[in-house]
Structure 1
Amino acid sequence: MGEARDGMWLDDAAGRLVRPYTVSNGRTRPTAHFDLLTMVMSTGSQPKNDLGPDHAQVLGLCGGPMSVAEVAAHVRLPAVVTKVLLSDLVDCGALTTRAPRPVATASPSDRDLLEAVLHGLRKRL
């Protein structure tokens, strides 16, 4: 798929030959909720109907966990268009999603953390 397939849809001077919203059939709202940090991964199940080359490219990227933002960067499409493609793949059971895990935050008064930051800054100066 990779570079050979990209060559069909990209032109060095003009850029992408197919307009982004043509890829999503003009849809701008995904059927599933995605954050840019939502992780997507292939289920191993193939879609029952052929969804098109862009869907296949996205599905090929999702062999392992990958964020929505990473997928959008790889396929060179706006995030909203990528989310529509991903939601199509989720709807047909080819992808699964996982919300980003919240990072444990330290309390603002955590003295040890503040001292470690201060120590690190002094070391760099």
Structure 2
Amino acid sequence: MTENPTDGSTEPGSQWYDGEAGPLVRPYAMTGGRTQSGPSGVRFDLIALVALDPTGPETGASVLGPEHRALIELCRTERQSVAELAADADLPVGVIRVLLGDLLELGCVTVSRPVPPTHLPDERILREVVAGLRAL
């Protein structure tokens, strides 16, 4: 119970309300208590890029919650990393991963994985290319 600043009384249930932030929703309520991103077990890296799938279903579906729709709106203009989505939506990364798993299963978004360091060109080769370009 918290004290009401106007009259000093306590209000039942007011511990779920912050005067400046408004009503609070616990992360597990947004994900339905889930901690994994769907049955496929997809793990979203912080730097994985998420984009809206233009061939996906209508994104205004009633099956989507407000957090899902917020993520769709954030991805509508450009690809964004999982970390950027978490920051822009002001939600924990764990919640974002679960919500993205839902959107991926529905076909609303696509995810492109970062290139593993073993598939990147060797630094020595890049230095040789730069040296060759400077020689031109």
TM-score (norm 2): 0.63
Corresponding residue number in structure 1 for 2:33: 26
State whether structure 2 residue 80 is matched by structure 1 residue 66.
yes
* Distance in 1 between residues matched to 2:111 and 2:64, nearest whole Å: 19
* Distance in 2 between residues matched to 1:88 and 1:61, nearest whole Å: 16
Corresponding residue number in structure 1 for 2:5: none
State whether structure 2 residue 58 is matched by structure 1 residue 46.
yes
Counterparts in 2 of 1:11 and 1:105: CA distance versus 1, 3 Å:
farther
1:92 to 84, 101, 106: 106
1:105, CA displacement in angstroms?
A: 5.6
Alignment-mate amino acid for residue 98 of structure 1 = S
CA displacement 1:13-68 (0-9 Å, x = unmatched): 34661111211111111122211111100013324443111100011001221000
Aligned residues with identical type, % of pairs: 39
Counterparts in 2 of 1:83 and 1:105: CA distance versus 1, 3 Å:
same
Q: CA RMSD in A?
A: 2.8
SS in 2 for 1:61: helix
CA displacement 1:49-88 (0-9 Å, x = unmatched): 4311110001100122100000011111111110001110
Q: Which runs of 5+ in 2 are unaligned?
A: 1-16, 128-136
* Distance in 2 between residues matched to 1:61 and 1:43, nearest whole Å: 13
Q: Which runs of 5+ in 1 are unaligned?
A: 1-9, 114-125
Q: Which has the larger radius of gyration?
A: 2
Aligned pair count reads 103
Alignment-mate amino acid for residue 35 of structure 1 = D
* Distance in 2 between residues matched to 1:55 and 1:14, nearest whole Å: 21
